[in-house]
Structures are given as C-alpha cells and as structure tokens.
Amino acid sequence: MSVEFKTKKTSTKDGNLYTKFTYENSLVEKDASGKLLVTPTAEEYEFKLDLTVPKVGLLLVGIGGNNGTTLVGSILANKNQISFENKEGVVKPNYYGSVTQSSTIKLGINKEGNDVYAPFNSIVPMVNPNDLIVDGWDISGLTLDKAMKRAKVLDVTLQKQLYPYLTDKKPMESIYYPDFIAANQGERADNVFNKTSGGEINTQDKWKDVEKIRKDIQDFKQKNKLDKVIVLWTANTERYADVLPKVNDTSDNLIASIKASHEEIAPSTIFAVASILEGVPYINGSPQNTFVPGVIELAEKHNSFIGGDDFKSGQTKIKSVLAQFLVDAGIKPLSIASYNHLGNNDGYNLSAPKQFRSKEISKQSVVDDIIESNEILYNKETGDKVDHCIVIKYLPAVGDSKVAMDEYYSELMLGGHNKISIHNVCEDSLLATPLIIDLVVVSEFLSRVQYKKVGESEYHDFYSVLTFLSYWLKAPLSRPGFKPINGLNKQRQSLENLLRLLVGLPINNELRFEERLV
C-alpha cells in the first residue's frame, strides 16, 4: 500500500525528507507549599530523513539457538514463499507478531468520520526483512539445519524445505567465558574462538577477543557489500557483571579492564564494545547488564547506537498493559505473582541461580514507572510498593511452549479486593523472533533520522541509547539520569508519533471533535 501525504510542513530534496515540527510539552515544578506549577513549553525543530533504504546485514550472537534458527528460517520461508502443510491445513509464510510487518497505524479519518489505517511500514521507507543478509556467531558449531532440528520450534514439514538452504551454513566461532553462563552449557561450547590447542578456555586475552569480533564484522560487511550492519545478542542469559570503580564505570576504565582481561568483563560486553568501535548498532536481547556505565559512555564517545535489554514477548508484555490498566483505573495492585516453566535451552540455562537472577531483575522492573505515576495509590514517603514475585522452572517436556501463570491481587474501595488470574501458553521463539525483526528494522530506520533546533546549522543523530526501541524490551535501557518508560501504550505512542511528525502529520489524539461538538 502506498501513502501520499499532503502537508506544508515537509519538503523533499536530494533524497531526503525535511520536516518542521513544534515540540510541545509542559514543565512542572513544585513550590515550597507543595503546589504544582505547570508551564506549557514549545520548541521548534527541523527533522531530516534519508529516504534511501540501504543494504543491511544482521549479525546474531547465538544464531544457532532457538531464536536464531527461527529467525533465519522465517526470512527464508518469506523470501522464497515456502508454504507448508500441518494438521490444520496449508500455512503460508508471514511475519505475524511483528509490529513493522503486521500492524497498522491510524492516519486520520475519512469524510464520514471513521478511522483510516495504513501498514506501519508504509509511512516511511523501511528495510524489508526479506532483504536482510543474516549471519552470526555461536558457541555451538552445529550447522543451522541441525541446529534448527535441535531447537524443535518450526514444523517439521517446513524444516525439511529449509534444510537445503542451511546444510552448509555454520556459525562463526564465538567467545565463551564459563563463569558468565550456566555450567550446563559447557557441552555445547565446541565452536569457541578463545580455546587453546589443548582444549582449555582462555579468558586472559579479552582484547584479542574484541579484535576478533571487529574483524568478523568488517569481513561480513565487505564480503556481502553491505551499507550497514547491526549486531544483536540473542544468546544465553549471562549472570550480572559487578559494576566496579576503575573497572567498568567509565569508558577508559572499561577499555583498560578489557586489555587486562578483568574477570568482570562479560562476553556480551566484548561484543558491545567491538560493535561500538566499528560504529554499528548493538542490541541486547537478554537480561544481563551488558551496558555497564563504561559501555554507555563509550557509545556516546563514538556516536554509536545501543539498545536493550531483554526481549519483551509474552508474559511481561501483558504485565506492562494490565498493570497500567489497573493503576489508571484507580485500582491498587498489592501483589503480582508470576510463574513460568519452559523446556528449551533458555530455560535450561536459567535453571542456574545467577542467570535466573538476571531474568528476575528485568521482569521485576516492568511496573516501576507505572507505580510511580500514581501517588494517590502509592505513597513514596512510606515506601509503598507492589509485592512482586517471579518464579522460573525448567521443565524439558514442554519444550519451546512456555507456560506462564500470573495473579494480580488488588485493593478496591472500602477494603474490597480484586484478583485477576491469567494462564498463558506461548511458543516462545515464535513470539521473540518477530521482535528481533522489529528491533533491527526500527534501529536501521532511526539511524537515517537526524534533527536540529531551528537556528542551528548542523543536524544531529539521536542520542546513543535508542529508547524508541523500548516497546520490544522488558527492561528498557534509558539515558543516564532519566527513568525508563515501561508502559506499553506509551512506548507504542512514541513510535507512532515519531513517524507521524516525520511526514508532517499532527500528533495523534482521540478528541474526536467531529462527533462530540455541536
């Protein structure tokens, strides 16, 4: 579907779309008596969007895992129009679950006052997932056809049609620091760069590991004649790294600690640093604290994009909606109990306490900003909060079909209570893979957007931490000094409004004066 926008706010020149936009907000201050003083603000901006969609390569850390093989399979199936038959009939390839490929945006209304929608990716030019060139690293050396079979995600009749594309495709050698992932993953680590000739793991030359990853990125870009590369971590959850003074608290200390092979430098941080130094976006799809302060500062120095943490696919996405609904309705959640069991390798890795702790932290933080939005329900001075319990158990029999059970226990008026229980079964990797597609497509799109305040001579890129990606992430990384936004509707609205302003449309609202005014 093609869309043409008739607006005086935009102009096109030399392959770029130029847009004028007035950013309106309200500055709120509290005086000595506690009264809130609200001052409307307005600032004029000019935006520039490069309309040329480049040739993009995607490098996955963990390409041989469930998410990696499912992503590769989904792109091959869609690109080659591979249909398959299951017990319910013929299934045609699609990208269901992807916002950029399978959702719509409201453009406005027609003459009758009814809403009109268009595909999300029709508003501005975006890369087509079918055009992505995909490769990556994995500590397991299985070719991708065998890795796909091991994952047990895709229907067998589809897998058999995909095997000819994958039999010779082996992941690049990755790096493996045993202390950061569960010991039960050691058997898979047969495709490791930092292994000695005697079979021992060498963690004493971490700067060499950075250089190896940088060389892999360079070779991948040159071999495939790519304009841009994006690196995304979809490998095992690591334990949290300790944030220590003079180790990973600044970019200089971080680089020095890598060269000294400090024990608190994680593999995911090695990949992040290599990507930043190569000037390619790096996205963390797992819950560990890859982006220690030194990594964020390094990204700022090199004007390189980073985004994370942890894919927000099922249970947590529901939580970010339901908790917002309750609090916005003036209902006070007292406790949220979340239970999961799953049988894939992710669950196997999370059965180790330190790796589970990383996941627990990312899941718990999802309601923080929602709670802080209502001081009527939650008194900050008394430390009022929600009791939030999270349990994850490994149960091999269920495979990739993760089972999630939640109970929301809330207080109503005059001592009443309300209990909402949800039982959710989802095919984990088939929810996570569309998120990877969206994170890559939107990251690339954001790299083509620049802005300047009216009166400035030069355009600027967005800040290094891509908070526009928050919609797809459990524990969204925020700019230092700013609190993350977890409410799903707020995250989606920011994306829609960015697209609207770039094409000269007003910020979306639901005043609907057409039907409400005389």
**CA pair distance 369, 379, nearest whole angstrom:** 14
Tell me, what's the pLDDT at 358? Answer: 67
Biggest alpha carbon distance in the chain?
83
Structure confidence at residue 185 (pLDDT): 87
The string of DSSP letters for 70-88 reads HHHHHHHHHHTT--EEETT
- Residue 72, beta-bridge partner list: none
How many H helices and E strands in the chain?
15, 19
204 HSE (CA, 13 A, CB side): 4
Q: How many CB atoms lie within 10 A of CB 115?
A: 12
Residue pointed to by tokens 């595909």 = 119
Nearest Cα neighbor of 448 from 435, 439, 461 is 461
Q: What's the DSSP call for residue 329?
A: T
- The two structure tokens encoding residue 157: 């009749």
Whether omega for the bond prior to residue 309 falls within 30 degrees of 0, making it cis, is yes
d(Cα 19, Cα 241) in Å, to the nearest integer?
Answer: 43
Report phi then psi at 455, rounded to 5. 105, -20
Nearest to 213 by CA among 61, 439, 326: 61
Q: Please, is 100 exposed, middle or buried when counting C-beta atoms within 10 Å of its C-beta (0-12, 13-18, 19+)?
A: buried
Spell out the residues 6+ positions from residue 304 whose beta carbon is closer than 8 angstroms to its own: 275, 276, 279, 280, 281, 282, 298, 464
pLDDT at res. 509: 84
Burial class for 154, CB neighbours closer than 10 Å (0-12, 13-18, 19+): buried
Backbone angles phi, psi at 285, to 5 degrees: -95, 5
From the candidates 310, 368, 428, 438, give the one annotated as an active-site residue.
Answer: 310
**218 contact partners, CB below 8 Å, separation of at least 6:** 278
Query: Active-site residue among 170, 206, 212, 402?
Result: 402
Which segments of the chain have a pLDDT < 50? none
Full DSSP string of 339-374: EEEE-SHHHHHHTSHHHHHHHHHHHHGGGHHHHHT-
In this prediction, residue 25 carries a pLDDT of: 95
Determine the Cα–Cα distance for residues 26 and 37; give it in Å rounded to an integer.
10
Catalytic residue among 346, 359, 363, 368: 359
User: Has 359 been annotated as catalytic?
Assistant: yes
* Rounded distance between C-alpha atoms, residue 234 and residue 286, angstroms: 6
Nearest-angstrom CA–CA distance, 88 and 120? 29
**Does the predicted model carry a pTM greater than 0.85?**
yes
Q: Yes or no: say if 294 and 253 are a contact pair by the CB < 8 Å rule.
A: yes
Check if 453 is active-site.
Answer: no
Closest CA to 465 of 451, 450, 484, 452: 484
Q: Of 228, 312, 319, 474, which is the active-site residue?
A: 474
pLDDT value for 359: 65
Beta bridge partners of 337: 389, 407
Domains and CATH numbers, the chain: 56-107+124-311 (3.40.50.720), 315-428 (3.30.360.10)
Beta bridge partners of 451: 47, 460
Assigned token pair, 269? 């941080």
Question: Under 8 Å CB-to-CB from 277, ≥6 apart: which residues?
Answer: 210, 214, 298, 302
Q: Rounded CA gap, 422 and 407, in Å?
A: 7
pLDDT of residue 16: 97
pLDDT per position as a tens digit, 408-466: 999 999 999 999 999 988 888 999 999 999 999 999 999 999 999 999 999 999 999 99
The CA-CA-CA angle for residues 434, 220, 202, to 5°, reads 95
Cα–Cα separations (whole angstroms), residue 386 to 91, 378, 413, 415 = 43, 9, 17, 17
Sequence letter at residue 338: S
